[in-house]
Structure 1
Amino acid sequence: MNWEIVERELELRTSRSSGAGGQHVNKTESRVELVLDVAASQGLSRRERDNIRFHLGNRLDGQDRLSVTDQSDRSQHTNRKRALSAMRQLLERGIRNPPKKRTAGAFKANSRKRLEKKKRRGEVKSGRGRVRW
């Protein structure tokens, strides 16, 4: 991932923050939303895009866009920094390779135990036959 290119591709949106804050909230746009179009990003390789779709598929909208919002502070500048940090962490977590699939199979020790148990059970059953004098 080339963060410099990805950072330039981010779309920055600001809006008025919700919640408490009185008149300050009503007149400043301190809420920050960062949006990245994953499908069109030049800073991500094809493999990284696929990994992001795998790991962060529930965070993507219908057009393969990933968004992060922050409105925790009164300052737009601080919220922008936090949103950038959150986006970077999210992308770094998303570009890791998916876990390898393991083939299901019995452990050797379990197979051996099962066969021994079967053999013992067979011996018990063979002793139940007709008694010959």
Structure 2
Amino acid sequence: MKPIHIPDSDEELLADCDVFTFRSSGKGGQHVNKTESGVRIVHRPSGLTAICRRERSQYLNRKRCLLTLRARLEKLNRKEPPRIPTAIPVSVKRKRRESKSITGIKKQLRKKPEPE
């Protein structure tokens, strides 16, 4: 996937996004019931969505939402280095076999004794 350009300023990033406001739930009483303080930002090029309704003001929710969106875009751009498989050491294989045999012995002891 092609890396997504992340602008430095919030205004440039908001130009690439759709911003929706809504009435959020939670604490705040009448204030939160009559103001649209919840913010949902959709980044058009990538389709990523960030939602914030934690704060009582739309301004703070928008700031928090932009931080979340930036973090998600950076994570999307980050390319994980390929994992180089390593051989399992002999000591680890031996310990695994020993623990398996101990588990097998425990399970055999749980069986009903054979009638003589």
TM-score by length of 2: 0.61
Q: Which residue of 2 aligns with 1:2?
A: 6
Q: Which residue of 2 aligns with 1:102?
A: 84
- Which ranges in structure 1 are unaligned for 5 or more consecutive residues? 42-63, 115-133
The count of corresponding residues between Structure 1 and Structure 2 is 85
Ranked by relative contact order (alpha carbons within 8 Å, sequence separation 6 or more), the top structure is 1
CA drift of 1:73 comes to 1.1
Residue 40 of structure 2 contacts residue 50 of structure 2 at CA under 8 Å; is this kept in 1? yes
Q: Which residue of 1 aligns with 2:60?
A: 78
Please report the RMSD computed on the Cα atoms of aligned residues, expressed in angstroms: 2.4
Residue 6 of structure 2 contacts residue 70 of structure 2 at CA under 8 Å; is this kept in 1? no
Give the structure with higher Rg (CA).
1
Please give the secondary structure, in 1, of the residue aligned with 2:20. strand
TM-score by length of 1: 0.54
- Which ranges in structure 2 are unaligned for 5 or more consecutive residues? 95-116
CA drift of 1:104 comes to 4.6
- 1:35-80 Cα deviation digits (max 9, x unpaired): 113xxx2xxxxxxxxxxxxxxxxxxxxxx62111111111101111
- 1:101 is matched by which residue type in structure 2? R
